[in-house]
Amino acid sequence: MSAAEGATARPRPLGELPDAALVDLEGLAFDVDDTITRDGRLEAVAYEALWALHDAGVALVAVTGRPLGWAEVYARQWPVRAAVGENGAGWFWLEGQVLRTGHFSSEAERADERARLERVRARVAAALPTLPLASDVLGRRCDLAWDIGEAHTASADELERFRAIAAAEGARVTTSSVHAHAVPGRWDKALGLAAAIDAALGRPLDVARWLYVGDSANDEPAFAHFGPRAIGVANLRLEGLVHPPAYLTTAPRGEGFAELAARILAAR
């Protein structure tokens, strides 16, 4: 199936993914919230799958909308080659015991982007006092996020008004299963992932030898970029996606991730 076909076709069952796509797999990039977690906690079956893949020689990269402060912890403590945070804004990786970091935007661009975010923050606080900032906001460095499905369930009106405020200040909006993000720069998960792999592994991303797995709208740029090698876990909401993944696991969240890991390990 081509990437163009993947843009309009519904995902096929993971069981239909050919073993040939897995035999010489170099790496797996994965979302975090509701892809390997449930209710915000890392599922044991997913963590075990991460270590099994790592031990089998599969390069792993976490790609999350969570803060860069959280991505730093993932890079230090999980069996990953790199961790990308804030939907592609920056990334961390270890060289031995030395932590390295990179950003999609230059230092000068980040200063302008921070000013833009402060304007969005002030306007949302004044116009939408019912829409709370995400509880992880203290760890954020390049974007801002508001709670739409973690502790607060946002209404359609709140989301529409939030999008209008962000757009008026020149920020894009992307959503995950838990947050709505104001994105002041050009990055997304696909662009940030490619830059992180280039930095951490020392070679360009070869999508013919990688897979991507995720669960929500902010994964769509990666779904589109990976085309026939993009996978969703079963809890993915397909409504509104122009570029859904090519395949879908039968199990949700961490169990779906473990299902994918088992396919990879069996093929190898």
Give how far Cα 72 sits from Cα of 60, 64, 86, 92, 187, Å. Answer: 15, 11, 11, 6, 18
SS3 59: strand
Q: What is the pLDDT of residues 147-178, one digit of tens each?
A: 999 999 999 999 999 999 999 999 999 999 99
Distance CA 85, CA 68 (A): 5
Q: What is the pLDDT of residues 176-204, one digit of tens each?
A: 999 999 999 999 999 999 999 999 999 99
CB atoms < 10 A from the CB of 145, how many? 26
Q: Which residues in the chain land under pLDDT 50?
A: 1-7
Domains 3-103+187-267 and 107-183 share a fold: no
Query: Which pLDDT score is estimated for 8?
Result: 57
Query: Which pLDDT score is estimated for 1?
Result: 40
Domain positions in the chain are 3-103+187-267, 107-183
Instruction: Write b or e for each residue in 121-140: b if 16 or more Cβ atoms lie within 10 A of its Cβ, otherwise e.
Output: bebbeeebeebbbbebbebb
Q: Hey, what CATH topology would domain 3-103+187-267 get?
A: Rossmann fold (3.40.50)
Query: Which pLDDT score is estimated for 268?
Result: 85
- pTM, full prediction: 0.94
* Domain 107-183 bears CATH identifier 1.10.10: no
Query: Which pLDDT score is estimated for 9?
Result: 80
